[in-house]
Amino acid sequence: MDILNRLAESIDYIEKHLDQPLKHEEIAQIAYCSKFHYQRMFYMLTGVTLADYIRKRRLTVAAQELAASHIKVVDAAFKYGYNTPESFSKAFSRLHGISPSQAREKGRTLRAFPRLSFHIQIKGVEDMNYKIVEKEPFQVIGKALEVTVKDDQNKKDIPAFWNELNHNGFTDSLKPDIGPLGFLGVCMDFNDQADTFNYVIGVEKTTADTPAGCVGKSIPAATWAVFEAIGPVNPAVQATWERIFSEWFPATGYELANAPQFEAYPEDGDIMAQDHITEIWIPVVKQK
């Protein structure tokens, strides 16, 4: 439950500072998370990005203030984080369907994006089977791509990266070196300042040599929670990630550790098969 309490505290902080500059790093610190992990967890739990939530909450509160007071539109724009009245008016109109000036008119309908609250959702439909694995340090060999989480660009770039390496023969070239985990898709080297991370497609290194054209990445020793996503990779993997953050973490005594995360795919698996199994490896620590 600690994770839910900390998320609730971060929402309290956002609500108290809607009319002030909000830095994602400071919000994440309240939840004892890195910026990257907080933003990812926030999206998994809510279905909206942190930036979008803040924007919609500011526009909701701004509309209420315009309707109930004599604040000028230009003052409301600056108060809620917009550089110009024009940019404020455009964003306001997209959410509410009317201009800020029209919000003053009696009888106008305004849209309210509600404040979030967090709780455990007991579904009782499917068990979440997992295992805890202690694994020594290992290396991954493959190709790396720096991707950004801004505007969910990583969700476009990573599938395109897989397609590229599958079609140009690179993944086939790794098969002689493939380890027991199969093919790996690793998220690592998180850069909170730039909102980027490295995504590595490769295999666990099992020989002394690194094949030509490959980079080597070190994965530290860690405790891992390992989950099975059963079914076609899309949507089974994404659905399992969502359940991990929305159901498993809040209900257990574990927290996300600051280490790489990865998905493991069988060497010859059919990613579209109903019985295909993708393993999701998440580094964890026991709550203090």
Q: Please, are residues 149 and 39 in contact by the beta-carbon 8 Å criterion?
A: yes
Distance (Å, rounded) from C-alpha 133 to C-alpha 237?
20
Token pair for 238 = 């994404």
pLDDT of 258 > 60? The answer is: yes
pLDDT of 284 > 60? The answer is: yes
Distances (CA, A) of 155 to 44, 79, 103, 122, 169: 13, 33, 37, 28, 22
Tell me if the bond preceding 159 is cis, omega within 30° of 0.
no
pLDDT of 207 > 90? The answer is: no
User: Between 207 and 196, whose confidence is greater?
Assistant: 196
pLDDT given for residue 124 in this prediction: 47
pLDDT given for residue 159 in this prediction: 92
Which DSSP helix (H) or strand (E) runs through 250?
helix 249-251
pLDDT given for residue 194 in this prediction: 81
Residue with tokens 């770039």: 157
Beta partners for residue 283, in sequence order: 224
pLDDT given for residue 56 in this prediction: 94
Tell me which residue of 151, 191, 147, 243 sits closest to 35, measured CA to CA. Answer: 191
What average pLDDT does this structure show over 4-29?
92
Phi/psi-derived region of residue 211, left when phi > 0, alpha when psi is between -120 and 50, beta in every other case: beta
Token pair for 67 = 């309707």
What average pLDDT does this structure show over 39-52?
84
CATH number of 130-286: 3.20.80.10
**220 three-state secondary structure:** coil
Q: What is the pLDDT of residues 94-135, one digit of tens each?
A: 999 999 999 888 878 888 888 887 665 545 456 678 999 999
Q: What is the pLDDT of residues 54-102, one digit of tens each?
A: 999 999 999 999 998 999 999 999 999 999 999 999 999 999 999 999 9
Per-residue confidence at 255, pLDDT binned at 50, 70, 90?
confident
What are the structural domain ranges in the chain? 2-104, 130-286
Which DSSP helix (H) or strand (E) runs through 5?
helix 2-16
pLDDT given for residue 278 in this prediction: 94
pLDDT given for residue 119 in this prediction: 62
pLDDT of 211 > 80? The answer is: no
CATH 1.10.10.60 is the classification of domain 2-104: yes
What average pLDDT does this structure show over 272-282?
93
pLDDT given for residue 43 in this prediction: 82
User: Between 208 and 239, whose confidence is greater?
Assistant: 239
Residue with tokens 């030509």: 212
pLDDT given for residue 288 in this prediction: 64
Q: 100: buried, middle or exposed (CB in 10 Å: 19+, 13-18, 0-12)?
A: buried
Token pair for 61 = 């509160």
* Structure letter (DSSP) for residue 119: -
pLDDT given for residue 240 in this prediction: 92
Per-residue confidence at 1, pLDDT binned at 50, 70, 90?
low
Highest-pLDDT range among 76-90, 174-188, 264-278: 76-90
Backbone angles phi, psi at 99, to 5 degrees: -80, 160
